[in-house]
Amino acid sequence: MEKIQKVEIRVHRGLIADLGDDEKRWMAAAIEAAKKAYAPYSCFQVGAVAVLEDGTLVSGSNQENAAYPSGLCAERTTLFAAGAQYPDLPVKALFLVALKDGEVQEKISPCGACRQVLLETEQRYRRPMQVWMCGRSEFCRLDSAESLLPLSFGSADLLG
């Protein structure tokens, strides 16, 4: 007998102009992180800022390498740095921004490898992490990284 599973993904959309002061500051920090990207091949600079539970910010950017796939995306750079520097502090939110030719792009979304890392970061700390994908005029917010990878494979599959 076939079993049907319903998957629901809730995406909050809004205008950048309507963000609160903290969210605007965190987005600005992600833009500054994107400016530090090393992206000579794609010319697509991505910045990420992890907001930790105590308010600490950890930023990162994509770092490309001619020997593909040796580079690393901004999301993984940021989350790995946060985990290494602050292993006991959960990530409350992750802000993402992309620049091309110095201009904020309208859309940004994590790649598959980054989605897996976001999900496992949530699993590591046993709490959801908001994911903010910020564009030029609009943002999309997910209340949990699990929404990016609903039928996921994670630590429970290996340990259980």
60-69: long-range contacts at Cβ-Cβ below 8 A with a sequence spacing of 24 or more?
60/33, 61/33, 61/34, 61/35, 61/36, 61/37, 62/37, 62/38, 63/37, 63/38, 64/38, 64/39, 64/40, 66/41
Q: Among residues 23, 75, 122, 146, which one is catalytic?
A: 75
Residue 53: active-site member = no
Tokens of 123: 């699993």
Q: Which residues are catalytic?
A: 75
